[in-house]
Amino acid sequence: MKPQVGLLVLLLSLVLSVVGCGDPADAHRYNSSGVKLFEQGRPEEALAEYNEAIRLDPKFAAAYFNRGQTYFALGHQLEAVRDYTEAIRLNPQHPYVPLAYASRAMSYTLLGNDPEAHQDIGRAVELGYDPRLLLRAIDKLKDQR
């Protein structure tokens, strides 16, 4: 796994403390299983669980967000951007949205799309994300490009 995985595990743990869903129980169960697998360092298996959660409930924003985090950790930035975007679209008022914008900014940074990253940084900060934490992460990711 890539070095940024540790940061993502920490961020994912924070998100899990605020992610609640009224979605079907099976989708929620698959999403929770995916989180556990991701935290155990088994991202490919986590993806399968998130995919099933999304199949069962295509409007399950938290599953898209979690799958985006897993794609990010695996280095699949285009897929991560797609999932972060869908999570934001599906539930723009959810408490994880600032983190979704911050995560998408990090993916855009790794893709070399600095204008989009800059927009998402601004949006994340506007929604309450700590700018120092985000800018420090962005700077580290720029060094990895």
Report the CATH number at residue 33: 1.25.40.10
What phi and psi, each to the nearest 5 degrees, are found at residue 81? -60, -45
Report which of residues 70 and 17 the model is more confident about.
70
Q: How far apart are CA 124 and CA 133, in angstroms?
A: 11
How many structural domains is the chain composed of?
1
Residue 125 has pLDDT above 70, yes or no: yes
Q: How far apart are CA 45 and CA 62, in angstroms?
A: 17
Residue 10 has pLDDT above 50, yes or no: no
Q: How far apart are CA 9 and CA 25, in angstroms?
A: 24
- State the pLDDT at residue 8: 56
3-state DSSP call for residue 113? coil
pTM here is 0.83
Give the residue numbers spanning the domain of 134: 5-144
